Chains A and B, each alone.
Chain A
Amino acid sequence: MQSSSQTPTTLAAPPSRMPFSWLGTAISNMASLPLLTKELIEQSHSKRMYILRVLYAVILYGFALWQYDTITSGPAGGGFVNLGRGREFFTILVDIQKYAIYLLLPAITCGAVTVEKEKDTLGLLLLTKLGPMTIVVEKLLSRVIAMGTYQLLSLPLFAIVYGMGGVELSGLIAAIIELTALSIAVASVSILCSTWFRTTSEAFIMTYVLVLCISGCIQFDMEIFGSIQMRFYNPYATATPSLTQALMAPTLIAIHSFIFSGIFVLIASRTLFRRAFVSPKNILLGIFQSVDRFFNALNDSTTGGIVLVKDREGLPLFQPISWRETRKRSLGTFRYQFRILTLLLAPLIFVIAAVLSEGRVDFSSPFRGFPVFFWLVATICVTIHSTGVIAAERMRQSLDVLLVTPLTASEIVFEKLSGVRRLIKILIVPFAVLVTFQAIWSGYVMPGSTLNQTNNFWLELVSTSLAPFVFMPVLMWVGFHFGLRLRSQMQAILATVAAVLVICMLPLAIAKYLDDVSLAFSPGVSRWNRAPFSVCLSWISPLRSMFVTNNFGMEDDFRSYNAPNVPNVIPVKYELLRWVPLTIHFGFYGLVLACLRQSALNSFSKVVKRSEPQKEVPSVQRDDTT
Chain B
Amino acid sequence: MLAVEVEELRIRYGKLEAVKGISLKIPPGEVFGFIGPNGAGKSSTIRVLATLLPEFRGSARIMNISVRARPHEVREQIGYVPDFFGVYEDLTAREYLHFFAAAYRLPMSKRKAVVDDVLQLTDLTGKIDSQVDSLSRGMKQRLSLARVLLHDPAVLLLDEPASGLDPRARIEMRELLKALKEMGKTIIISSHILHELAQLCTRIGIIETGRMVAQGSVAEIYQRLGVLKIVHVQVANQSPELIAKLRSKAGVTHVDDQVDRISIRIEEGKLDVEDLHDFIHDQGARIRMFQPEVMDMETAFMKLTEGQTA
Q: Which A residues are within 8 Å of any B CB, using their own CB?
A: 315-321, 323-324, 328-329, 396-408, 605-606, 609-621, 623, 625-626
Selected contact of B147 from candidates A401, A408, A612, A617, CB within 8 Å: A401
Q: List 18 A-B contacts (CB under 8 A).
A: A315-B98, A324-B91, A396-B86, A396-B87, A396-B89, A398-B87, A400-B82, A401-B82, A404-B51, A405-B103, A406-B76, A609-B53, A609-B55, A611-B67, A614-B68, A616-B59, A616-B69, A620-B59
A406 touches B102 (CB 8 A): no
Task: Give chain B nearest CB distance to A155 CB in angstroms.
Answer: 39
Query: Contacts A619-B58, A620-B8 known; A323 to B99 CB distance under 8 Å?
Result: yes
A313 closest partner in B (C-beta): B95
Given contacts A316-B99, A621-B58, 10 further A-B contacts (CB under 8 A): A316-B95, A318-B102, A400-B52, A400-B82, A404-B75, A406-B72, A613-B71, A617-B57, A617-B59, A623-B12
B144-194: which have CB < 8 Å to A? Answer: 144, 147
B86 touches A316 (CB 8 A): no
- Is B88 interfacial (CB-CB < 8 Å)? yes
Which residues of chain A are near B54, meaning CB under 8 Å? 605-606, 609-612, 614
A328 touches B91 (CB 8 A): yes
Chain B interface, >50% SS class: mixed
A619 touches B70 (CB 8 A): no
Chain B 56-80 near chain A by CB (<8 Å), digits 1 or 0 = 0111000000111111101110101
Which residues of chain A are near B42, meaning CB under 8 Å? none
A408 touches B17 (CB 8 A): no
Task: Give chain B nearest CB distance to A540 CB in angstroms.
Answer: 37
The answer for the CA separation of A59 and B265 in the assembled complex, in Å, is 77
A401 closest partner in B (C-beta): B86
Chain A interface, >50% SS class: loop
Selected contact of A623 from candidates B57, B69, B108, CB within 8 Å: B57
Top 9 closest pairs, chain A to chain B, by CB: A611-B71, A320-B102, A401-B86, A611-B51, A405-B103, A619-B59, A315-B98, A611-B54, A397-B84
User: What is the total number of residues of chain B having a CB less than 8 Å from a CB of chain A?
Assistant: 49
The answer for the CA separation of A156 and B243 in the assembled complex, in Å, is 90
Task: Give chain A nearest CB distance to B263 CB in angstroms.
Answer: 27
- Is B229 interfacial (CB-CB < 8 Å)? no
- Is B94 interfacial (CB-CB < 8 Å)? yes
Task: Give chain B nearest CB distance to A616 CB in angstroms.
Answer: 5
The answer for the CA separation of A461 and B17 in the assembled complex, in Å, is 60
- Is B220 interfacial (CB-CB < 8 Å)? no
Query: Contacts A406-B76, A616-B68, A620-B58 known; A324 to B108 CB distance under 8 Å?
Result: no
Query: Contacts A397-B85, A400-B52, A623-B10 known; A617 to B100 CB distance under 8 Å?
Result: no
B144 closest partner in A (C-beta): A401
A316 touches B10 (CB 8 A): no
- Is B90 interfacial (CB-CB < 8 Å)? yes
B100-134: which have CB < 8 Å to A? Answer: 100, 102-105, 108
A611 touches B99 (CB 8 A): no
- Is B50 interfacial (CB-CB < 8 Å)? yes
The answer for the CA separation of A534 and B213 in the assembled complex, in Å, is 68
Which residues of chain B are near A613, meaning CB under 8 Å? 68-72
Selected contact of B8 from candidates A402, A605, A619, CB within 8 Å: A619
Residue of A316, A605, A606 with most chain B CB atoms under a 10 A cut-off: A316
A616 closest partner in B (C-beta): B69
Which residues of chain A are near B90, meaning CB under 8 Å? 328-329
The answer for the CA separation of A625 and B20 in the assembled complex, in Å, is 12
- Is B293 interfacial (CB-CB < 8 Å)? no
Task: Give chain A nearest CB distance to B16 CB in angstroms.
Answer: 11
Residue of B12, B66, B102 with most chain A CB atoms under a 10 A cut-off: B102
The answer for the CA separation of A625 and B86 in the assembled complex, in Å, is 36
The answer for the CA separation of A615 and B54 in the assembled complex, in Å, is 12
The answer for the CA separation of A407 and B104 in the assembled complex, in Å, is 8
- Is B7 interfacial (CB-CB < 8 Å)? yes
Which residues of chain B are near A619, meaning CB under 8 Å? 7-8, 58-59
The answer for the CA separation of A619 and B87 in the assembled complex, in Å, is 36
A398 closest partner in B (C-beta): B86
